[in-house]
Amino acid sequence: MKFIYSVFVFFLLMSCGAQEKNPDLIWIIPASDFERQDFPISIIVPEDVNIDKGVPILVEVEGDRRVEIPCQISVGEEKKLSWVVPGITKANQERQFELRFKKGKIEIPSISVEQNDTTLLISKGEQAILHYRYSELPAPAGQSELFGRSGFIHPLYALSGESLTWAQPADHVHHVGLWNPWTRVTWKGNHTDFWNLGAGLGTVGFKEVLSMESGAVYAEFRVTQDHIAFVPPKPVKDGEADRSKEVIVIEEEWIIRVWNINDGYLLDFTSLIRNVLDESISLDAYRYGGGLGYRATSKWNKNNSTVLSSEGKTRIDGDATRAKWCWISGDLEGTYTGLLFMSDSNNYDFPQPMRIWPDDSNDIGHQFFEFTPIREKAWILDAGETYSQKYRIWVKEGQLSEDKAEQQWLQYIGAMDQKNSYLSQ
């Protein structure tokens, strides 16, 4: 496993010498035709910038006004500088930032990822944000061993500390918080269901931690997991002989990044799937599977939670419709809390169809949501090729207007990994 040790800073007072020194780089954030607020950005650092000569100091310059901004530099395939552009950025407004380096002590990261015996944990100070389960969560008592699995996020926490997810509920034991297996996969004449574990056709399992990164601006981990077919299917009744062999059909990499912002937190979810076979795979059309699935807390029901999509759809009429974003929210032990699910505009069959449970689900109206890229048409994965799906989740307290949700989605699709204007000194 590769550990990425980021260089990061907090709000520090700069010395006069550091202020007078010419910047190593100057960035100008281009103007946009819509207002933005507290949006994260990552910039590829040019090769001629030596990032090893000290602690990075990022300063916003506005006339004579200079404000230091927390930043984070990571070194992977590319050197990247990341920060959250603070406050309100008005429509048609440019903002200028300068990067310098100075000698100093590296501070303790304000948002971190750690590994324990069962999970990877991302937290902000003492506040837990999420657990990624890399060890198998056993099947509940009385259920088939087939329902044990790894490779999912649970719990995902609200700011209050309450869990926003539910794993292995009695009504759908194969539901595990935040996860994304494919339901109907055709490969070499076989038909595998990686979603409905009780069928004994397949599963998804954690394979390896690739990297973990902590810092002042974000925490991130990268993991791989395998989509494993059982050929022939595993027995679903006790006492039957198990003659199945395990065949890895799809290799997947998850990149999970949580941004340190003032109003809640942002979770960027990237799934990279690769067909490891020597011929194409069909992710067959079905009403659920793949994309990004969410089983909400058991404390939400039809009386205390709601759904609103970018197209104005609700639980009553939202299922099978398409959307750029979807806001799922409700009362959680006295605190109104919600999750804004956003889909990248480059995702397959964007804007993607959704699976939204109606308000009479399980009689009391439990919440289930999914962006479902294969709801209306199959997705063919060519042999050896890799495909990506990207989503962002904004977890926050309080109500959210449609205009604010749209602003967040526009920020998401427009701000990441830009090569903004820069001047190398």
pLDDT in tens, 280-328: 999 999 999 999 999 999 999 999 999 999 999 999 999 999 999 999 9
Averaged over 172-182, what is the pLDDT?
98
Return the number of other C-beta atoms located less than 10 Å from residue 226's C-beta. Answer: 20
pLDDT score for 149: 98
Least confident span in 47-51, 98-102, 171-175, 401-405: 47-51
Residue 36 is encoded by which pair of tokens?
Answer: 């933005």
Return the number of other C-beta atoms located less than 10 Å from residue 326's C-beta. Answer: 25
pLDDT score for 1: 59
Averaged over 171-188, what is the pLDDT?
98
Q: Taking the model in full, what pTM does it have?
A: 0.93
User: C-alpha distances in angstroms, 224 versus 151, 185, 251, 404?
Assistant: 9, 19, 7, 34
Averaged over 150-155, what is the pLDDT?
98
**2-105+418-424 in CATH: which number?**
2.60.40
pLDDT score for 354: 98
Strand residues in 30-115 grouped as ranges (E): 36-44, 55-62, 65-69, 72-75, 79-89, 95-102, 111-115
Averaged over 33-37, what is the pLDDT?
93
pLDDT in tens, 105-143: 767 789 999 999 999 999 999 999 999 999 999 999 999
Structural domain boundaries in the chain: 2-105+418-424, 111-415
How many whole angstroms separate alpha carbon 405 and alpha carbon 402?
Answer: 5
**Contact of 174 with 146, CB cutoff 8 Å:** no
Q: Which CATH entry fits the domain spanning 111-415: 3.30.160, 2.70.98, 3.40.50, 1.10.760?
A: 2.70.98
Assess whether pLDDT exceeds 70 at residue 425. no
Kind and range of the H or E run holding 402 = helix 402-415
